[in-house]
Amino acid sequence: MEGIINFVKRYKIITTSLIGVSLFLVFRKFILGFIGHHIIMFSKYYKYLKRPKKIILIRHGQSQANVDKSLYSQKPDCQIGLSDLGKSQAFEAGKKLKQLLDPSNRIKFFVSPYQRTKDTYEGLLKSVANQKMQTWVDPRLREQDRGMHNDEERKQLFIDRKAQGHFFFRFPQGEAGADVYDRASQFLDVLYREMDSNKKAESDVVVIVTHSLFMKFFLMRYFFWEIEKFEKTKIAGNCDMWILEKIEGTGNYKLITELKECSEYED
């Protein structure tokens, strides 16, 4: 009798184990999928937490060619630096940037390689030099290439651009606005890889020192603007800041700077 009881007990254990294994095999896809889903969600949420609190776009200060447009036909656009007023604007912009930062904030600068943007960056540093920072000069942030033309040719080209539209018009020996849009798309991909990479130093604020047209294309790409909205948006003034702030609990950003509309494009 005792042997029968022991056999029944062993049979129950084996049966229970077999049932457990069978249930696991039946539901393993669901169980592993559930676990995998939550691991992915946690990983994404961790990336969101790491992303900078702000992305700040800053246009360069007044350039020498903003004062004397004949310079565009006398020297390469990339070599045109800031005017004296532009240097003062950059210094004042640095003060405003400082007010947007906490002392512990880590800044990651991305700077256009043009002389006027590098001069602006130098002006900004005078106010934020005590912050922890990293800096990259990125060619994708450069101004639209408009080629080299004399004053009369340049005036006619701007008339033609107004008639055709600023997004599609292509400057001879230069770029169309659509080319700058493509560069903005490429830069945005790089920016996200930098923000989400575990191998890169984290930053609290990203500052992009660039040009007025690139700033518009950056927002167009990020917020999926229609071409009509791009055309109607007023460009940033010299050393103006357009600020994107991270939406709490997400990895997305909202524009907190109020932009204005314009009836005509400003160069």
Residues assigned a catalytic role: 60, 143
Q: What is the largest CA-CA distance in the chain?
A: 114
Q: What's the alpha-carbon Rg for the chain, to the nearest Å?
A: 28
- Cα–Cα distance measured from residue 179 to residue 63, given in angstroms and rounded to the nearest whole number: 23
3-state SS string over 198-257?
CCCCCCCEEEEEECHHHHHHHHHHHHCCCHHHHHHECCCCCCCEEEEEECCCCCCEEECC
Q: For residue 62, which amino acid is it?
A: Q
C-alpha 49/C-alpha 69 separation (Å) is 46
Residue 218 is encoded by which pair of tokens? 């950056």
CA distance linking residue 138 with residue 240, whole number of Å: 20
